[in-house]
Amino acid sequence: MFAKFLFTAALLLAGNAWAHDYQLGALKIIHPWTRATAPGAAAGGGFLKIENTGDADRLIGAAADVSAVVELHTMVMDGEVMRMRKLDKGIELPAGATTELKPGSLHIMFIDLKAPLKEGTNFPLTLKFEKAGEIKVDVPVGALGAATPQGARALRPAFN
What's 65's domain CATH number? Answer: 2.60.40.1890
Confirm whether 37 is domain-assigned. Answer: yes
Confirm whether 85 is domain-assigned. Answer: yes
Write down the pLDDT at residue 1: 53
- Tens digits of pLDDT across the chain (160 residues): 544 544 444 444 444 444 589 999 999 999 999 999 999 999 999 999 999 999 999 999 999 999 999 999 999 888 999 899 999 999 999 999 999 999 999 999 999 999 999 999 999 999 999 999 999 999 999 998 777 665 455 444 444 4
As a whole number of angstroms, the distance between CA 75 and CA 73 comes to: 7
Write down the pLDDT at residue 156: 45
Write down the pLDDT at residue 20: 81
**In Å, what is the CA distance from 94 to each residue of 56, 59, 67, 85?**
5, 11, 29, 21
Confirm whether 152 is domain-assigned. Answer: no
The number of domains in the chain is 1
Residue 73, SS3? strand
- CA angle, corner 40, sides to 39 and 45, nearest 5? 85
Spatial contact of 144 and 119, defined as CB atoms under 8 Å apart: yes
Confirm whether 14 is domain-assigned. Answer: no
Confirm whether 3 is domain-assigned. Answer: no
Write down the pLDDT at residue 14: 41
Write down the pLDDT at residue 114: 97
Residue-range definition of the domain harbouring residue 87: 20-142
Write down the pLDDT at residue 16: 41
As a whole number of angstroms, the distance between CA 83 and CA 33 comes to: 22
| pTM to 2 decimal places | 0.82
Spatial contact of 47 and 104, defined as CB atoms under 8 Å apart: no
Write down the pLDDT at residue 160: 43
As a whole number of angstroms, the distance between CA 65 and CA 146 comes to: 22
Confirm whether 150 is domain-assigned. Answer: no
Write down the pLDDT at residue 5: 43
